[in-house]
Amino acid sequence: MIDFYYAPTPNGWKVAIMLEELELEYTTHLMRLGDGDQFKSAFMAISPNAKMPAIIDHDPPKSYGTNSVSVFESGAIMLYLADKFKRFIPTDPLGRKEAMEWMFWQVGNQGPMAGQLSHFVNYAPKDQQDYGRKRYGGEYERNLAVLEKRLGGQDYILGDYSICDMIVFPWAFIAKPLSASLDLFPNVAAWRGHIKQRTAVMKAINLCKADQNLGKTNVSNNKILYNQSAVHILGSGNKE
Ligand SMILES: N[C@@H](CCC(=O)N[C@@H](CS)C(=O)NCC(=O)O)C(=O)O
């Protein structure tokens, strides 16, 4: 059994897709990020960066010992599960190396740039959006172009469907709400269309859909999520 700490955002969907693709039994713990669930000490004990997604696996591989195993960061969670079940990741060294490259590309490039773009499009004060939208909109599209070239002549990022597609898909899925068009990126548009139709993906992006933020909390009405500093991690910002 797996405990899944989740909120319905692109970063949450990544792991939800993997859990659904593996057809695993899991218990979803919905995180109210606007209320500060991420800063509760029990959650920070498993996710020290105070962000979801995170999992606790109560039936880890024997080589991990007998205790439950917690994993934070979407990329680490997906690699852990791929290795545990030996699925959705190439087994040959060259293929695994490429999987690592695209996983790290997602968590170090596409994800953060898209996340910042989303901040400026959806949550920043209206009169302070311009520079952020220009900077991160450009970076978001630059990353779409990287993906476009990679998908030239192949259906999926590694050839076969893998954790790399699952981790990259969510932020490409919401291109339109991020004010980006896929017109310049026909390979990405076709790939996005194929992945979107998978049963596991549909289940994942609908998980706790009614709890999506969609701009409900924003910089003007929420001080927990949008005005963070070291205090949130070091102490007096913590909630029990
Ligand atoms: N690099 C992380 C990003 C996770 C992340 O940014 N999660 C956000 C929601 S999309 C979160 O938990 N935010 C809570 C906060 O910022 O306080 C991953 O890929 O797992």
The CATH number of the domain where 183 resides is what?
1.20.1050.10
Looking at the fold, whether 166 and 223 belong to one and the same domain comes out as: no
For residue 53, report the distance from its CA to the centre of ligand 1, in Å.
Answer: 7
For residue 33, report the distance from its CA to the centre of ligand 1, in Å.
Answer: 9
Looking at the fold, whether 195 and 229 belong to one and the same domain comes out as: no
Q: What is the CATH number of the domain that holds 71?
A: 3.40.30.10
Top mutation candidate among 47, 52, 103 for ligand 1, by most atoms within 8 Å of CB: 52
Residue 236 pLDDT class (50, 70, 90 cuts): low
φ, ψ of residue 81 in degrees (nearest 5): -70, -40
Report percent pLDDT > 70 for the chain.
Answer: 98
Looking at the fold, whether 10 and 54 belong to one and the same domain comes out as: yes
Residue 235 pLDDT class (50, 70, 90 cuts): confident
Looking at the fold, whether 176 and 230 belong to one and the same domain comes out as: no
Looking at the fold, whether 124 and 215 belong to one and the same domain comes out as: no
Q: Residue 214 has what pLDDT?
A: 84
Domain contains 166: yes
Q: Which atom of ligand 1 is nearest to the CA of 232?
A: 17
Looking at the fold, whether 76 and 24 belong to one and the same domain comes out as: yes
CA-CA distance, 144 to 128, in Å (whole number)? 25
Range of the domain at 100: 93-202
Q: Which helix (H) or strand (E) holds 126?
A: none
Domain contains 78: yes
Domain contains 66: yes
Q: Assess contact for 168 and 157: CB atoms under 8 A.
A: yes
| Residues having CB within 6 Å of any atom of ligand 1 | 7, 9, 11, 33, 38, 50-53, 73-74, 107, 111, 115, 225
Q: Assess contact for 30 and 7: CB atoms under 8 A.
A: yes
Whether 158 shows a pLDDT value over 60: the answer reads: yes
Domain contains 134: yes
Domain contains 73: yes
pLDDT digits (tens, 9 = 90+) for 174-226: 999 999 999 999 999 999 999 999 999 999 999 999 999 887 888 989 988 88
Looking at the fold, whether 97 and 176 belong to one and the same domain comes out as: yes
For residue 11, report the distance from its CA to the centre of ligand 1, in Å.
Answer: 6
Whether 68 shows a pLDDT value over 90: the answer reads: yes
Domain contains 10: yes
- Report the 10 Å Cβ neighbour count for 49: 11
pLDDT digits (tens, 9 = 90+) for 88-142: 999 999 999 999 999 999 999 999 999 999 999 999 999 999 999 999 999 999 9
For residue 81, report the distance from its CA to the centre of ligand 1, in Å.
Answer: 19
Domain contains 239: no
Domain count, the chain: 2
Q: Residue 237 has what pLDDT?
A: 46
Q: What is the mean pLDDT of residues 161-165?
A: 98
Give the mean pLDDT of the chain. Answer: 95
